[in-house]
Amino acid sequence: MSDRKPYSSDVSDEQWVLVEPVITAWKAAHPSVSGHQGRYAMREIVNAILYQNRSGYQWEDLLPHDLPPAGAVKYYFYKWRDDGTDQTIHDLMRWQLREKKRRLADPSLIVMDTQSIRASVGVPAATTGKDAAKRVPGRKRCLAVDVLGLVVEAVVLPASAHDNATGISLLDGVAAQMDTVKKALADQGFKKAVVDHGKNYGIDVEIVERNPADKGFVPQAKRWIVEQTNGILMFYRRLVRGYEHRPATSRSRVFWAMTSVMARRLTGATLSSWRAA
């Protein structure tokens, strides 16, 4: 561990034990041509990614100087995004947390939902749009979570994308990872096309209709858990707005945020809310 003063977003010794095997295996599979092991400790690279995810800082010149420089952190962040290492770490955490809760590693039921996020200045127009219903210009973050609120799949599309497209993309992603899911719950924004697509994978998609007598926000049984996950992601400032030029980067941010959440749940640690500041 570095001798610098720790940040609240850093992984603890117990949390690093959960992440380190994947990083060590990755390093072994990607040796330097020159045999160089790298100037910076992998734990500090992970700490820098988590710090930026939590704080929302830009890359250049705004990462604290006692963390590895932005160039080194970006190198690993993008490498792990592109080869799926970020999701591998995330999924291992999810399996462990589910087993800790005495559940099978993979779920049989998922809950799907979307959240429209405003795009920042400079984000390519080709990857954004306007959610006409919510009047939000930007991107649509789409989640499939289990009954514990843990992310099973994440998809990022222009905010103009219809919920049918997001639901189909989520089902494709879930089915590519596992064959255990038999039922999916979704709100009324998802239509028959999603229900029919679920049948291709043996997934019964149920559209949960709102009670017409309800006024204001009324949590729906089981479906409320995905709303809780959306709320948790808002504690990670890099996810509050669509800052990333590539949707794949936004997706990776979701995995790193949930990795931080699950590492703390597995080790009994807590993280204070920036909203209390």
Any idea which of 2-6, 18-22, 155-159 has the lowest mean pLDDT?
A: 2-6
Query: In the chain, what percentage of residues exceed pLDDT 70?
Result: 91
Any idea which of 31-45, 65-79, 114-128 has the lowest mean pLDDT?
A: 31-45
Question: pLDDT at position 26, please?
Answer: 95
Contacts (Cβ under 8 Å, ≥6 apart) of 82: 248
The stretch 3-16 carries a mean pLDDT of 93
Question: pLDDT at position 199, please?
Answer: 97
More reliable by pLDDT, 47 or 189: 47
More reliable by pLDDT, 215 or 77: 77
Tell me the pLDDT band of 276, cut-offs 50, 70 and 90: very low
More reliable by pLDDT, 77 or 271: 77
pLDDT at 266 over 60: yes
Pairing of strands 136-145, 109-118: antiparallel
Tell me the pLDDT band of 185, cut-offs 50, 70 and 90: very high
Question: pLDDT at position 277, please?
Answer: 39
Phi, psi of 186 (to 5 degrees): -145, 160
Average pLDDT, the chain: 90
Question: pLDDT at position 35, please?
Answer: 66
The stretch 141-151 carries a mean pLDDT of 97
Question: pLDDT at position 17, please?
Answer: 97
pLDDT at 215 over 90: no
Question: pLDDT at position 9, please?
Answer: 94
Predicted TM-score (pTM) of this structure: 0.91
Any idea which of 60-69, 200-209, 252-261 has the lowest mean pLDDT?
A: 60-69
Tell me the pLDDT band of 222, cut-offs 50, 70 and 90: confident
Domains and CATH numbers, the chain: 106-244 (3.30.420.10)
Question: pLDDT at position 212, please?
Answer: 59
The stretch 118-141 carries a mean pLDDT of 90
The stretch 12-22 carries a mean pLDDT of 97
What would the two tokens of residue 93 be? 């955490």
